[in-house]
Structure 1
């Protein structure tokens, strides 16, 4: 007992000397709490997410889309000029994307999808392709793995589905004041994790929605693949209200496995306008062979 007490006393006696000699203080950026922090229960958050999703039946958007390809694996990134164009979306799963060549204004790309099958026509390349929403043989060129479902699921944040369970956690993120880059704001958030129904003791994460507590709106959505890896990250900002529905005017879609990102900037938006069937029809010239993508 006396030996143990002697060791303890010795360690305590050394502490001031050790801390005085070995500690080092460095300057780090100073943060401050957010001016406004809103509270919500899990039920309230789910209700709000479902209300926003259910409140949108169609989207008619004029857009600018910029593509960035590459990343850490390739050791470089390539940013391409922005394409202007349109996105038409109609529930349950209809989607059309039309893009124009920068400066020239000619058609660059036309893509349609019904959620199961898709077609794409690239006039300048005299190239037409079709396929299903599933990628069975991933390409080394990540952009060739792009499917319309990636855009559809990033534009709309789904609510809780009957075959899913949900958990709520909390975290914080650091925001930079746009008017003062040295003003760093620490904002709490809510994280809604949606999981498939457990099989025994195992549950698979499907999505995580990150909700900022200054406005209780999603600022990020992580979508997981069957192997438990994040296949899509969507970032939302510049919300504007259309009637009672807030919608982000900037959406950045990141595909970490495929090493590319799409930045969608919405310049004009109309929600819930009736869209006709022919707005989701793509006619490819009969002289053009259509390549099937797996």
Structure 2
């Protein structure tokens, strides 16, 4: 059996908000498997789970650039948050995002694109920045969104400067209607996406593995009720319907008014902009999501650097 360490228990507590003893029991029940322990706690009703499971620690900036019917997102990582405040780093993120808007989101092509005003490529400029700033940096990912007509609206949550921040969102609205009104609507929906972080545009976009995981959790919780099999199945299906409504953008309640579903907001917008409106897609980048940053003991690092250990 895997060793259940104090640090593993602590990590599970941070992910789920469950009590220490419950976390320890969950890890024992799942042989130290952290994700399985999260699910175990959820089946017992002891964790809000996914809301805290996405915590991240990587540093850097998200860049957002929009031009009419196309938008781009770029993430550039750094070792510390201090670098995100560096003007050279900020300028690099903005510039690379503009290049992605023009060249596309293929990372290799982006890295090999010419860097404006420089003597080389984006990759070579990044290497030069690392030397100048004295800290490792990386061009992690890029994505673009486009419609044939209408607008792609961008939003940066808690922007530290124009077009750069910790969370970046793009929303694509296809319509022949008034561009200024579409832009305003797109930005509001982008703010919603930043706040709520939907998993998909509609039900067809939900990852089947995510649905199966939710079904398994719902089935175990329903089975524990002791009710007849046909009732248990209805409970499971009801739980899945609720889950889909909560994670699908078009089914979520619009945070701007707190009562209307996003899909209905878009449908009703046609009257205001003068033509039917279709919500074609969205992209959301949160700084460092999916990256596990190694924890460090700063005092120990200083002592080691000073040769006192």
TM-score, length of structure 1 as denominator length: 0.24
Q: Which is greater in Rg?
A: 1
TM-score, length of structure 2 as denominator length: 0.23
Bigger proportion of residues as strand: 1
- Higher RCO by CA contacts (8 Å cutoff, separation 6 or greater): 1
Bigger proportion of residues as helix: 2
